Structure 1
């Protein structure tokens, strides 16, 4: 078997500097405390601020500089946050689209601060714990978005049916990371470094977990598609207040029972996917030779901006926590504003599928994408690749299934019965990305092709009808069949009456 690639770093050298796992063994833990009994773990040099407590001036300076030059430019959008609040309070009814637009733009610096604060806190942790914390805080925006959407869902009000938007947002988040973010990383990294090599374990673990997640997300939809024709019924209206419901095949297998079965399958599948996510976390946290220790830490030492980044002023632990609280409040408020105006945005002509699959994932992932692109530009391709695949894995295995469980707790029928069109996009995207990752190398052409695939997906979503018009995997298909059969029976009835 061929030796694994280490992006130019010898395996022995990489293992020599290996960071201890998040869950250390007892002897190592004991020796560590005997060596340093003042703290639970020493703060790495790249996370040491040299200060303690909270200093407002220093806090604002560090916040403005952010994680990279691109992210620092995002801070000029902070005025949109108070503007969104003003429009929400005073002009929400008269200018709902302005409220949505201002909240949408204000989400970018708010999410950027959340990601940066999580990164600053992560740098003060052991390597594995830090990466897991950074990834988690990068996905908090997405979790809040999903929860706000499902809380505002009202199945009795057709205008407030947000489940299709939630489902599109789940898959859209995965597609945005796999196609757009990864494509831009390959594209800009390829321009500066011509060709970048990444470790096989990053792509193998990422692609494998995504295929498992796609399988889990596909099952409820496939189950519904296979059995929906068996539960079809024909409704024949004989007159005012008189109608006959004629089952086509099995009168005991109704649409209601099929929908209930799909809901139960979705909930059981969600529990299984969440369990697999925690197994993945446990593997990453406890394995001495996981994706983090040999590959990512060694890759970070090749960062072109490593020395300059280490010398930059940093948040203290207190300032990082304060930044997290501020950003969480802003993100939650702005997402509530966004969700409340979705109805007006859809009425203005923006399709549900485009809103959920493209617009919402773009804004919630903007900060994380900028960080990943900057890492690829600096030659840290393994870290950039993980920041593309890691959030996709978390969305598929945890964030998406979590909203099903939250809907279950709230008594709302959130399921994993996605549109066949969207499931097809997900599976094809995973296959395309897996094919590009297979050779362990990236260049700007592969990045450009991934971005083009994303653009084609966005165009198709713009023209895809809303769920109340057409659906490839819902009740609308059955209703169309019912109407067609009913019209045929009505014509037959008229012929019989004329005889």
Structure 2
């Protein structure tokens, strides 16, 4: 009997992917194999008299899955059409995302105020902070449109990676800022790394559970998504904890503060390389060796989408328009990020906002806006596997790639950027990982669990607002009044 060939759920068109399930009989009995995504296949020659499974493989010739655009992402057009481009981009992917586009007039206003009124630091900070939201939303939408055109697993990875562009740009701008006596930009980056993880893992996940629980008793998701994510979260938490535990366990030792800090930085750099390797292995696992499992899961989620027919009928961006949207939005994000980061010094010094609150709460909220909107919309449409993949994927990208990447860049720039965090930040991170892991254990969610996640995040934000600034090594000779935290 030849191996059965199962097609993806009927979308009315070929999506360029075929799921093959093989059953092999052996002397000891039969054994089922997990579905493996084989990409596009075309018949080449008849099956010759070998084993059934090998006959199927001889009959099928694999074609790269990226050669053809999925029907769900086809626009029916090519090139760049300005009017259609602006109309599609403004409508965005959801009602909430469309509402965010109303903020686009703030973008030129923020740029103009930065150069016309350079001494009005509060106005520049507020306008730049608001302007970052529509820019990040366009990055997310362009990534989402691009992700429609490729297979499901690669699409999720593409969307998550593009969504992290805002975060990477902010980290790179922060690490290149000159040292200041009133604000430690490296400390802001460290807080932003953990704050980004907390914002996605607690706030975004909580909002997803609440949005999905509005009209449903509970939602379910696949263990393949939740267990892999939970395990990697624990691994990331352990890796981020090693330099901090090392430094604080030797605080009272015979080592001088300078030697101890140097050792902690060296450990951080080695750990950063290891975490990046772990992330690349995770991507390979998800996109290459086990992508058939994830494809099945995501295709099932697509069938549950109550807005599926509406989404398929929406006008879509062409590949050229996706690239143009990404280029424009990333450029604007870089400009706004520079304006925003340049005002942190004045917000800390004049407005008495702590480094911890800026890095742990303010920066992550704006840099993750697009990813949060996408995940919440998917949860509302009962696509919890997609939503969870975006939440856990964005969290893991920050912890295993973006954070370690800024450590490596700081190494190249000669900056003492490490993974030796404040004990408060690290303790909150580890507790949050345990809390979320417990909620994901039963593969079910409801609005109560989401509400509890949001409450925990608000508690962290309150503590961060009251957390004093650490003593800056560059603050020697600075009067006490210059310290906003009142040490």
1:422 aligns with 2:425: yes
**In 2 relative to 1, CA 150–285 (structure 1 residues): closer, same or farther, beyond 3 Å?**
same
Supply the distance in 2 between the matched residues of 1:116 and 1:326 (Cα, whole angstroms): 12
**In 2 relative to 1, CA 46–396 (structure 1 residues): closer, same or farther, beyond 3 Å?**
same
Which of 1 and 2 has greater Rg?
1
TM-fit CA distance, 1:153:
4.1
Unmatched tracts of structure 1, length 5 or more: 1-8, 231-249, 477-499
322-331 or 292-301, larger mean C-alpha shift: 292-301
**In 2 relative to 1, CA 353–288 (structure 1 residues): closer, same or farther, beyond 3 Å?**
closer
Matching residue within 364, 384, 387 for 2:390: 387
TM-fit CA distance, 1:258:
1.0
Q: In the alignment, what sits opposite 2:243?
A: 220
Alignment of 1:433-444 (within 5 A): 433-444=436-447
Q: In the alignment, what sits opposite 2:185?
A: 162
1:191 aligns with 2:214: yes
**In 2 relative to 1, CA 19–335 (structure 1 residues): closer, same or farther, beyond 3 Å?**
farther
Supply the distance in 2 between the matched residues of 1:432 and 1:99 (Cα, whole angstroms): 37
Could you tell me whether the CA contact under 8 Å between 2:74 and 2:149 is conserved in 1? yes
Q: In the alignment, what sits opposite 1:67?
A: 93
Q: Give a deviation string over 1:167-187, Cα, whole Å, max 9, x none.
A: 000000000011100001101
Supply the distance in 2 between the matched residues of 1:181 and 1:419 (Cα, whole angstroms): 24
TM-fit CA distance, 1:299:
1.1
1:31 aligns with 2:61: yes
Could you tell me whether the CA contact under 8 Å between 2:66 and 2:150 is conserved in 1? no
Q: In the alignment, what sits opposite 1:450?
A: 453
Could you tell me whether the CA contact under 8 Å between 1:163 and 1:414 is conserved in 2? yes
Alignment of 1:267-282 (within 5 A): 267-282=269-284
Could you tell me whether the CA contact under 8 Å between 2:156 and 2:389 is conserved in 1? no
TM-score, normalised with respect to structure 2: 0.85
Matching residue within 323, 334, 339 for 2:341: 339
1:149 aligns with 2:174: yes
TM-fit CA distance, 1:442:
0.5
Could you tell me whether the CA contact under 8 Å between 1:21 and 1:288 is conserved in 2? no
Aligned pair count reads 433
TM-fit CA distance, 1:290:
5.6
Supply the distance in 1 between the matched residues of 2:300 and 2:95 (Cα, whole angstroms): 23
Supply the distance in 2 between the matched residues of 1:54 and 1:327 (Cα, whole angstroms): 16
Q: Give a deviation string over 1:343-393, Cα, whole Å, max 9, x none.
A: 111121211101100111001111111111111111001111111111000
Supply the distance in 1 between the matched residues of 2:99 and 2:247 (Cα, whole angstroms): 47
Q: Give a deviation string over 1:242-288, Cα, whole Å, max 9, x none.
A: xxxxxxxx4xx322211111110000000000000000011111124
Matching residue within 25, 37, 42 for 1:20: 37
Q: In the alignment, what sits opposite 1:57?
A: 83
Q: In the alignment, what sits opposite 2:298?
A: 296
Supply the distance in 1 between the matched residues of 2:154 and 2:210 (Cα, whole angstroms): 30
